[in-house]
Structure 1
Amino acid sequence: MTRKIAAIVNPYSGGGKTGRAWPAIEKKLTRALGPLTAYMTEGAATPHHLPAAGPTAKALKDGADLVIAVGGDGTINEVVNGFFEGGKPINPEAAFAFLNTGTGGDFRKTFGYDGTLDEAIEKLGQAEASPIDIGRLTFIAEDGRETARYFDNIASFGLSGAVDRAVNKAGISKLLGGKFAFFWGTLKTVLTYRPQAVRVTTDSGFDEVRNISTLAVANGRFFGGGMMMAPHAKPDDGLFDIVMMCDTTFKDMFSSSGSLYEGTHLANPKVTSLQAKVLEARPADANEIVLLDIDGEAPGRLPARFEIMPAALKLFR
């Protein structure tokens, strides 16, 4: 059966490299998969506007049965959001794929995609669709409105949300690669960041107030430009892996930054890990602002509710 393929392209990702490379990428994708329709995203993302979500929804409503995100982790997240409308998938039979051409490249690492772009395109030519879980998050946007959003990889809060803001304002550091950008952002931010008291409750019975440095609600394994935050996470097991780093100091972060990249930080007594389908978090002090990170973007703050949606999306891999 002939597929109807759409590519949702963020020409600004990777410092504009994606847009410049797109004509060559399009030719290679067409050779590997067949004819496709390209949609270019426009404008910057806001908590209430995801530039790639609208074109994705349009492509699906026009009959696309394979939608490929071409860009960074933020673009991938936006395309995933475009698959859903009113809390339900627009086309449950349609498949999702991605080509990571942006700064971070964290989501792909869970699936072992560390090769070149040409190798990734070759894999797509031989891929099949299989279901993965998706996270749904309700939170408070920067303008104070309650907002819902989906995430494919990791949503977190605390230091990670503050790092996102630093990275997204970094400019030149992003041009030097995702790993450097997020390491630089972490190093800069941790100098002034202090753990924040947050009440965390889960459907699996956890209910405590913890001094959170970073809490990650993980569907995938990596975030922050290659940090293996949740080394045991599986995006198709119907559960979040939750990793809480509590009372972390500058010395802890600096001395253990390597273990985050290796995934050995779970042995640290300041780290708690558990699994759950639902997590709710709110500041112990209602006046405290605790920032969120959603797949590398910082659109808002707590209180928030994280819910797993088992087998909600077919990934072409």
Structure 2
Amino acid sequence: MALFVHTNIALPLVVHARYCAGLRTRIDVGVVNEDNGENHYFANVADIHLSAKAGFYAARYKKFGNLCYVIGALQGFMGHQNRDFRIKVDDGEWELYPQVTALCIGNAKYFGGGMKIVPNVDPSNRSLEVVILQDFKWYDFILNLHKIYNGTHLTVKNVTSRSVRSIEVEEVSCSGSIYVQSDGEHLGFLPRKFHILPAAIEMIC
């Protein structure tokens, strides 16, 4: 069991056991800026669009164990449309990402019942890893599901990854219907800004 000390941040922490080695270590925390000006904190992954919608639906299928997220993703694809996003990384210029299926912002590697969605991230390197899936269809998700679980999906066409300290994400058409969640908690809809809070928590295992 992990014990977390030296922080005034209240958040549900679900950190993979590989980061626990019986020693004290400090880990970063991700921050989501909410509409009301308050901050929401996450230890694992914040995600946008299909993956967030899948998590929203997956809560209905918890009796199926880890399969609940796969079922939620397939239900999420019903009526799903890929959307054009704008992102701003580290307060730079706005960049256009067309036909985004899902955008995941990781402080740790895993979400969705063990999917290694952000395989290159390190929760103590003072940065977040952003993985973007573009122009995916439901069958692309099924065909690449095993790669998403083992973390080799970055080799798949239309999947990109980059390291950031902060990222702003908004939908080009501003429909107000793009789901956002972090660590399985629904946080509303785009736009949102995310950033890293370095070495925020001391962890003891």
Answer yes or no: same fold by TM over 0.5. Answer: yes
Structure 1 residues 157-236: aligned runs within 5 Å: 157-168=48-59, 170=60, 173-177=61-65, 179-203=66-90, 205=92, 207-210=94-97, 211-236=99-124
Q: Which residue of 1 aligns with 2:30?
A: 135
Which residue of the partner structure matches residue 200 of structure 2? 312
Contact 2:4 2:202 in 1 (8 A): no
Aligned to 1:255: 143
The answer (yes or no) to whether the contact 2:50–2:77 under 8 Å persists in 1 is yes
1:266-304 CA-to-partner distances (Å, cap 9, x unmatched) read: 011211111010000111112342110110111211111
Q: For residues 288 and 209 of structure 1, do their structure 2 counterparts lie closer, same or farther at Cα, with a shift above 3 Å needed?
A: farther
Matches of 1:225 and 1:161, distance apart in 2: 13
* Contact 1:153 1:219 (C-alpha < 8 Å) held by counterparts: yes
Q: Paired residue for 1:243? A: 131
Structure with higher helix content: 1
Distance 1:97 1:218 in 2: 15
The residue correspondences of 1:56-135 to structure 2 (distance < 5 A) are 83-84=8-9, 107-109=14-16, 111-112=17-18, 127-135=22-30
Which has the larger strand fraction?
2
Gaps of 5+ in 1: 1-28, 30-65, 69-79, 86-95, 99-106, 114-122
How far off its partner does 1:146 sit?
4.3
* Root mean square deviation of aligned Cα: 2.7
Q: Write the letter of the residue equivalent to 2:55.
A: D
What TM-score do the two structures reach when normalised by structure 1? 0.59
- Cα deviation for residue 175 of structure 1 reads 2.1
Tell me: CA distance 1:271–1:202, structure 2 relative to 1, closer, same or farther (3 Å). Answer: same
Distance 1:282-1:204 versus aligned 2 partners, 3 A rule: closer
Distance in 2 between residues matched to 1:219 and 1:312, nearest whole Å: 12
Shift of 1:259: 0.9
Q: SS at 1:192's partner residue?
A: coil
Structure 2 residue runs of 5 or longer lacking an equivalent are: none
- Comparing both chains, which one has the higher relative contact order based on Cα–Cα distances under 8 Å and sequence gaps of 6 or more? 2
Change (3 A) 1:240 1:67: closer
Q: For residues 175 and 269 of structure 1, what CA distance do their matches in structure 2 show?
A: 33
Residue 84 (structure 1) shift: 2.5
- Identity within the alignment, %: 25
Report the CA distance between 1:254 and its aligned residue: 1.5
Greater C-alpha radius of gyration = 1
